[in-house]
Structure 1
Amino acid sequence: MATLPSPVTEPSAGPNPLAAIVSGAALTTIADVITTMEAIDQLLPDNDGLKWFNRLYLMVTRQVDTNPPAGAWQDPTWLLHLDVVFAGLYFRAIRQYLAQDTATPTAWSVLLEARHLPGIERIQFALAGMNAHINRDLAVALVQTNLDLARDPQEDGPEHTDYLAINDLLDAVMPQALEMLSAGPLGEAAEDSGKVGRLLSSFDIRAARDAAWDFAGVLCDLDGFARDAALSAQDVSTGALGRALLTPL
């Protein structure tokens, strides 16, 4: 099996415009999140793997903002707060990595170390980002949101109904996203050879989101060292999957 080449070290000299974007972001609304993602999208060149996860995430976030399910969100306060907290974890991971912070989640380091490497397809970067953000960050965002809003969501409650509705938005976005991520000779060759289908089958978004909801419940029942240990173990396993997703095909 092919292995990842050595990661490219981020340059440390001079101001980093990506760091400036994610450090200057004051997130209070979903519009703030979209503005920050748009700035990242405009900054990053096409040969930067982070661009393709960010572009996919931006597409989904715009859908959440403009296309609520029929009958509207059942608990928009909870859902939009979750979206802001969730995106904040993504921006924080970028800040941490660029600052060479040892607290950078492994799940994110795997992607950020590989973002400039050749031979990795756009869809791989997008899926590796979704892996890090859903499998590592989403449970953390759920716990924080419920603490912030003093909520105890149940599976038959409005919060979980809205949470599941995001799956339908993801389904709506994916055809357009796959067309975008398969652009260019490398992506077209991967799609023609069936590699894209195999990649997609290796990462089940709905199952990952269901697992994140359950893991948030586990974290809520833990505290102190036990919670940190559980999150650390989840981060390590998520990083391992990220490496597999980024292995040149």
Structure 2
Amino acid sequence: MEAVLARMRALDERLPPRDGVAVFNRVYLTVTETLHRRIERGGFPAPRRAETLGVRFAERYLAAVAAERPPACWRPLLQYRRHPGVRPLQYALAGINAHIGHDLALAVVSACRTLDCEPAALEADFDRVGDTLVALEEHIREELMPGPDLLEVADPLTHLVGSWSLDRARAGAWASARLLWTLRRSPEVAEEFRESLDASVGLIGRCLLTPLPAAGDAGRIGRAVRSGGLHLL
């Protein structure tokens, strides 16, 4: 775990603060540091299993951002990482979407192979790792949401924030992990499913990174709607 944390901290020092990968990296570094502290303090009944899962999980992200041809789920973030119309919260959500929607399922399978166990043996650790992510989700959104009004109805970012759910992504990752484990003796079918999962998660990521108008412009539209100065047909 210390090795992957060191690599994330090196990325944080090297990347410009507004770079989309840097935005996600800061979020993920916070999550991983929290997870590491929980493991060290005895928050997991089987710390070796939890650490193996956490490390396999983090390694997939680090490999993706260093790859010449990254997985499809990571390409939108890497392609749009400097787009002026994409806001920091979108970068964070797109990274979390790629990492949980695709990488987490593969990390579970990899950890099972390393530990020589079935996914069921990791379910409690999977849930505890997920609890760490969920506990930080609200903080992440509050930290990166532009402006004080989270529920600005005219801001398209409000719609994007509400259209993606970490709980649903985590449940989908667990179902995908179990299916991939079941398909391990049919490698061609397993690879077809993995490629399909990768592509579908990438499509969601591209939607999350839709360039939006500036937050101030959306706020002015919202105030005009509330005051009756703009009529929506």
Q: TM-score, normalised by structure 1?
A: 0.77
Q: Secondary structure at the match of 1:67?
A: helix
Match of residue 105 from structure 1: 71
Between the aligned partners of 1:122 and 1:56, the Cα distance in structure 2 is: 11
- 1:107·1:238 contact (CA, 8 Å) conserved in 2? yes
| Amino acid paired to 1:248 | P
Aligned partner of 1:133 in structure 2 is 99
Aligned AA (2:17): D
2:59 to 77, 80, 88: 88
- CA–CA distance in structure 1, aligned partners of residues 179 and 149 of structure 2: 38
Gaps of 5+ in 1: 1-29
2:90 alignment partner, one of 124, 127, 136: 124
Output the CA distance in 1 between the equivalents of 2:73 and 2:33. Answer: 25
Structure 1 position 77, deviation (Å):
0.8
Question: What residue is the counterpart of 1:220 in the other structure?
Answer: 181
Q: How far off its partner does 1:52 sit?
A: 1.1
Asked if structure 1 preserves the Cα contact closer than 8 Å seen for 2:38 and 2:44, the reply is no
Aligned mates of 1:227, 1:190 — CA distance in 2: 44
Q: Does the 8 Å contact 1:93/1:105 carry over to 2?
A: yes
The residue identity in structure 2 corresponding to 1:209 is R
Runs of 4+ in structure 1 off by over 6 angstroms are none
Alignment match, 1:232: 195
Q: Bigger radius of gyration, 1 or 2? A: 2
Do the aligned partners of residues 224 and 168 (structure 1) sit closer, same or farther apart at CA in structure 2, a change above 3 Å counting?
Answer: closer
2:27 pairs with 1:56: yes
Matched, 1:198 2:169: no
Tell me if structure 2 keeps the 8 A contact 1:69–1:165. no
Asked if 1 retains the 8 angstrom alpha-carbon contact of 2:134 and 2:166, the reply is no
Deviation, 1:192, is: 6.2
Separation in structure 2 between the aligned mates of residue 125 and residue 86 of structure 1, nearest angstrom: 19
1:211 Cα offset (Å): 1.3
Aligned-pair CA distance for 1:68: 4.8
Change in 2 beyond 3 A, CA 1:243/1:164: same
- From the superposition, tell whether residues 85 and 68 of structure 1 become closer, same or farther in structure 2 (CA, over 3 Å): closer
User: Which residue of structure 2 aligns with residue 161 of structure 1?
Assistant: 124
How much identity, in percent, do the aligned residues show?
Answer: 34
2:149 and 2:18 map into 1 onto residues whose CA distance is 17
CA RMSD of aligned residues (A): 2.1
Using the TM superposition, give the Cα deviation of residue 189 of structure 1 relative to its aligned residue in structure 2, in angstroms.
7.3
Counterpart-to-counterpart distance in 1, 2:168 and 2:187: 28
Aligned residues: 208
Please identify, of 124-133 and 195-204, the stretch whose mean Cα deviation from structure 2 is larger: 195-204
TM alignment of 1:146-185, pairs within 5 A:
146-154=112-120, 157=121, 159-182=122-145
Q: Is the 8 A contact 1:52 1:181 kept in 2?
A: no
* Structure having the larger proportion of residues in helix: 2
Letter matched to residue 66 of structure 1: R
User: If the length of structure 2 is used for normalisation, what is the TM-score?
Assistant: 0.82
* TM-aligned CA distance change 1:147 to 1:245, over 3 Å: same
Alpha-carbon separation, structure 2, partners of 1:162 and 1:229: 28
Superposed counterparts of 1:7-26, under 5 Å: none
DSSP 3-state at the match of 1:221: helix
Quote the Cα distance in structure 1 between the aligned partners of 2:87 and 2:39.
31
